[in-house]
Amino acid sequence: MSLTASEWKRKAVHASMGLFALALRWLTWRQAALLAFAALLLNLFLLPRFGRGIYRDASRKRDVGIVAYPAVVLLLVLVFRGRYLPIAAAVWAMMAFGDPAASIFGKAIGGPRLPWNRQKTWIGLLADWAIGGAAAVGVFRFVSERELRPESVALLVGAAALFALLESIRAGIDDNLVAAPPVAFFLAWVCLASPPAAVPVVPGPGWALAINAAVALAAYAARAVSVSGAVAGALVGTAILASGGFPAYAVLWGFFLVGSVASKFGYREKAKRGTAQSRGGRRGAEHVAANCLVAALVAALARYQTQWGLVFTSCFAAALADTLGTEFGSLYGRRAFSPTSGASVPVGTPGAVSWPGLAAAAAGAAGISLVGAGTGLLPLSDAGIVVTAGFAGALAESVANDFGRRLGFRLDHEFANAANTFLGALIAVEIAASLAKGSLYLPVEGG
């Protein structure tokens, strides 16, 4: 299926605006923010009058993607100013050039569809990665005005792969909002801390794969996972064990065991209410990806980041807090309420919370923090950060779903689960950095 004439115009405008990222070499962050804000106002109020030719749906008053583009650029410039401004430029380049490449190559060549999003293709995903990565490296080099070391190039290319993956996911909101901010925060976090004094002791890749293959077969035999869940779980478990060692693996298993038991606990009653996990509580590949991919990415940086154990544990604290909050809230929560307005709503309403659910969420975050501290993955003094970050990440998902219900959109369930693990990680970084600094931390030093 080829692109329409209006879609070609849209992609051309999308990419051409990315050339302005090169101007960040000379502009101050205030000047760049003012220009991005002006572009946002233009797209909000003037483009609907004379620019509907690039709208996907000309009958709509505004095009969400066209408004989101300058809004995300403005966010990147405001947050990642100072010495981090080249990161904003690199991610802008991924958004400007990778996104159009995915559509153009995906529709021009076609090919196999992505299993997690049948509307997109592997060709499109690879084009997004290749062209977005090349653009990010070039723009970062130009804006930063320094030679890039091989590890910096590898990091930018890896970040472009993450960007392409996030753009390919069904989220329920515009993909500019889904991909760009997390990738920028990831790049900034890598620059935040020094390498650890001691790297984790890990088994070889062969042993890690053998252990996880055996575990996956056992989990499938116990009817805890489906076939896709067993395969995905084995791959993610191998990655975590081979990167973070057995302490990280223990945290993964703490989440999986407690979450699986909670899903099956009171299953018949939850099934009657329509709140039970599908497939008899078996976890599929989509559940593995939603709950574990962010943590697996963090574990891959175990040799390079001092705080990786804290952030890794916070990912699973948020995941388990969300799981227990949902499972026990739907089972014991007789009264549910909106987390944003406090108004009573029917049990099972998207985004609704209950007191039993909130208590279970806090207990889940606390349990994972104790596993992390008990295995030596983080100091006991950091357990409170994990509990706070995990609980806040899970609660943020409820708030987002509640807002979505009230504003007329609904986040994809698996995307929302992945987002809460990312938020748990982000909140942990923010708390730890703020405590170290003695005041609220934002990555803007030097600006």
pLDDT level of residue 198 (50, 70, 90 thresholds): low
3-state secondary structure (DSSP) of residue 353: strand
429 pLDDT higher than 80 = yes
360 pLDDT higher than 50 = yes
What are 90-107's pLDDT values in tens digits? 999 999 999 899 989 988
Looking at residue 63, what is its pLDDT? Answer: 79
For β-strands 344-345 and 117-121, DSSP reports them as: unpaired
Q: What is the mean pLDDT of residues 264-270?
A: 77
DSSP 75-119: HHHHHS-GGGHHHHHHHHHIIIIIHHHHHHHHHHH--SEETTEEE
Looking at residue 333, what is its pLDDT? Answer: 77
| Cα–Cα dist 70/338, whole Å | 31
Q: Are 313 and 368 in contact (CB under 8 A)?
A: yes
Q: 344: which strand partners?
A: 337
CB under 8 A, 24+ apart: contacts of 373-377 = 375/246, 375/247, 375/250, 375/251, 376/247, 377/244, 377/247, 377/248, 377/250, 377/251, 377/309, 377/312, 377/313
Give phi and psi for 183, each to the nearest 5: -65, -40
| Cα–Cα dist 162/211, whole Å | 27
DSSP 52: G
117 pLDDT higher than 80 = yes
| Cα–Cα dist 149/133, whole Å | 15
**Mean pLDDT, all residues of the chain:** 87
Cα angle 120, 126, 129; round to 5: 110
DSSP 345: E
Task: Select the more confidently predicted residue: 103 or 439.
Answer: 103
For the chain, give the percent of residues with pLDDT over 90.
Answer: 44
Q: What is the mean pLDDT of residues 354-371?
A: 95
3-state secondary structure (DSSP) of residue 168: coil
Q: What is the mean pLDDT of residues 292-299?
A: 91
Task: Select the more confidently predicted residue: 273 or 361.
Answer: 361
Give phi and psi for 443, each to the nearest 5: -75, 65
| Cα–Cα dist 6/246, whole Å | 53
pLDDT level of residue 273 (50, 70, 90 thresholds): low
> Is the overall model pTM greater than 0.85, yes or no?
no
Looking at residue 196, what is its pLDDT? Answer: 66
Give phi and psi for 5, each to the nearest 5: -60, -40
C-alpha dihedral, 127 to 132 to 134 to 137, nearest 10°: -160
3-state secondary structure (DSSP) of residue 49: helix
Q: Packing angle between helix 383-407 and helix 413-437, nearest 10 degrees? A: 140
pLDDT level of residue 280 (50, 70, 90 thresholds): low
Task: Select the more confidently predicted residue: 367 or 302.
Answer: 367
Looking at residue 186, what is its pLDDT? Answer: 84
Neighbours of 379 (CB within 10 A): 12
Q: Where do the structural domains in the chain lie, given as residue ranges?
A: 5-192, 205-437
Helices (H), 300-382: 308-332, 355-374
